[in-house]
Amino acid sequence: MYCLRRICKIRWFHRQTNEHVRELTGVHITILDRVRDGQLRWYGRKERMEGDRLPRRLMYGRLEGRRPRGRPRTTWLRALEGETPDMMWRQRTDLAKDRQRWTNFRRIRRYPTWRPPDGI
């Protein structure tokens, strides 16, 4: 937001909301959207990795021992399921294996009006 405010010459004493600045500039992507897109991009990369690579082993690995009493911790994969609630685990895995289709899926989630070019 700092960069957008500098470009538009909006100073802090103008007291403009972030939503107003986004509307003024036409940029409707929030930081949270960027973080979620980065998580989806990283998930796709890890799904396409060889099975013996360390990041992939860590994603699906289990630790030995017991954890303290209380609510189960939210894992990275469980959080990702919350980002793609309309997809089953197998669908998400199969889609991520195809890089072009996974990229198109991410773009459609980020820009709902975007459609892939014909032939892809």
- What's the rounded Cα separation, in Å, for the pair 36 and 30? 10
79 or 98, which is more confident: 98
- What's the rounded Cα separation, in Å, for the pair 99 and 56? 16
In a domain, 21, yes or no: no
In a domain, 15, yes or no: no
In a domain, 43, yes or no: yes
Domain containing residue 101: 30-61+74-110
Query: Looking at the 3D structure of the chain, how many domains does it have?
Result: 1
What pLDDT digit, counting tens, does each position of 9-49 carry?
888 888 888 888 888 888 777 888 888 889 899 999 999 99
Given a cut of 90, whether residue 99 has pLDDT beyond it is yes
What pLDDT digit, counting tens, does each position of 45-82 carry?
999 999 889 988 888 877 788 888 998 888 888 888 88
In a domain, 42, yes or no: yes
Given a cut of 80, whether residue 117 has pLDDT beyond it is no
